[in-house]
Amino acid sequence: MGTFKTCNKCHLPKPIESFQPKGKGKRRAVCRSCWRGRGKISQLCSSCNLKRPSRGTKCRQCHRDEGGCWDCAAISPFGKWCELCLEKANAEKRRRMARIRATVLQHYGGKCAYCGVAAGMFLTIDHIAGGGKEHRKSMGEPNICKWLYQLSIRGFPTGYQVLCWNCNSAKHIYGEEAVRAAVTLPEFVI
């Protein structure tokens, strides 16, 4: 006669063969019939009974309709995110964009091509041949983060350089030759 094991869900003693092998000679704590029936009732939204809930007991559509946070299910006056989840999402987005920006700046030299400033907070990407405004308009006016992301996924195309904000502004106002001449003056100190 085979050995018996008690199911943790239905609390009935059943033959050991009724329990799914778990590995290393062990078996699951619940029998196969309880394992197959697990969560069937809770897999439908408690409000609409149509969709599978993403978190908690309600689907995202019902959370949205009731003004709940999509992430933690708390009631949110901010739309689909509560204040805490919104701050977490924004912090992650800032970290991701800082990594992309650092990668792009490093790929294009990591320091200003004119004066040599290497502090990342002062650096930006410049179109070598000019025409940055027209290029941004043709792309639908993307913000700098989207634009840097596009540079990274396109494999860092040529035609760009790293400049500090001062050199970039001076290049736009006075022209490239004037900036290069000003930077090579002996009184120019970094």
The tokens for 138 are 């043709």
Tokens of 115: 């004066």
What confidence score (pLDDT) does residue 41 get? 47
Residues of the chain with pLDDT under 50: 41
Give 81-131 pLDDT, tens digit per residue: 778 888 888 899 899 989 999 999 999 999 999 888 899 889 988 888 887
DSSP secondary structure of 114-143: TT----GGGEEEEETTS-HHHHHHHTT---
d(CA 81, CA 139): 29
H or E element that contains 23: strand 21-23
16, 3 contact by CB (below 8 A): yes
Q: What pLDDT shows up at residue 9?
A: 77
- The Cα–Cα gap between 122 and 115 comes to 12
Which residue in 61, 47, 55 sits closest to 74, CA to CA?
55
pTM: 0.57
Predicted confidence at residue 71, as pLDDT, reads 66
